[in-house]
């Protein structure tokens, strides 16, 4: 006697089209490794890890300080320019770009420093860079060296 609640379809597992594809794939890849070696994927191991980056904006009296920490690449440079644009719009007396926490840079990232100088040029106190020996100073020198070699320096 059928029960009051009959199941309309059979819920037992049945082979699907995917099973057939998997069987073909398994035969085609027989003998190949199923996962990366213990050292990990060779492609991933050869890629350098990006530097963790932070752009911190603080107020120091009537000045705005933008600190760049970690790496300064093209995308970080764009974020730096955006932060400097927003800071200048707030109307501080001057803008400081703190590069003392910088650990690495690319040429594209360094070029953003020149763009920031242009943004801060209309402020009463202008733009100041905070650097010490190391990548921060090197990035600044690189950015302005490129200007001199391109004939664009003031």
Domain assignment of residue 8, yes or no: no
Domain assignment of residue 105, yes or no: yes
Two tokens, residue 116: 């920031």
For residues 84 and 63, what is the distance between their CA atoms, to the nearest angstrom? 12
So what's the pLDDT on residue 94? 93
Domain assignment of residue 41, yes or no: no
So what's the pLDDT on residue 145? 82
Domain assignment of residue 29, yes or no: no
Q: How many domains does the chain have?
A: 1
So what's the pLDDT on residue 100? 94
Domain assignment of residue 6, yes or no: no
So what's the pLDDT on residue 7? 40
Beta strands in the chain (DSSP E): 54-60, 63-72, 94-105, 127-130
Domain assignment of residue 12, yes or no: no
Using CA atoms of 106, 114, 52, 89 in order, give the dihedral in degrees to the nearest 10: -160
For residues 71 and 74, what is the distance between their CA atoms, to the nearest angstrom? 10
Q: Could you tell me the residue range of the domain that residue 126 belongs to?
A: 54-150
pLDDT in tens, 20-37: 444 454 444 555 555 555
Which residues have C-beta within 8 Å of that of residue 85, sequence separation ≥ 6?
A: 119
Domain assignment of residue 22, yes or no: no
129 SS3 class: strand
Read off the pTM: 0.62
Q: What is the DSSP string of 113-143?
A: HHHHHHHHTTSTT-EEEE--TTHHHHHHHHH
So what's the pLDDT on residue 92? 93
pLDDT beneath 50, residues of the chain: 1-12, 14-23, 25-28, 44, 153-154
CA 54 to chain centre: 9
Domain assignment of residue 124, yes or no: yes
So what's the pLDDT on residue 154? 47
Q: What CATH number corresponds to the domain at position 97?
A: 3.30.750.24
């Amino acid at each position: 006697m059928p029960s009051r609640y009959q199941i309309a379809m059979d819920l037992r597992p049945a082979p699907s089209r995917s099973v057939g594809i998997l069987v073909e794939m398994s035969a085609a890849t027989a003998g190949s490794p199923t996962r990366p070696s213990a050292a990990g994927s060779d492609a991933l191991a050869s890629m350098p890890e990006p530097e963790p980056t932070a752009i911190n904006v603080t107020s120091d009296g009537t000045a705005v300080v933008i600190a760049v920490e970690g790496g300064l690449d093209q995308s970080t440079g764009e974020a730096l320019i955006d932060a400097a644009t927003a800071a200048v719009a707030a109307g501080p007396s001057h803008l400081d770009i703190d590069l003392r926490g910088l650990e690495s840079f690319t040429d594209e990232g360094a070029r953003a420093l020149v763009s920031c100088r242009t943004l801060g040029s209309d402020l009463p106190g202008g733009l100041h860079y905070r650097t010490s020996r190391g990548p921060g100073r090197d990035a600044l020198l690189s950015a302005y060296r490129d200007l001199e070699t391109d004939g664009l320096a003031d």
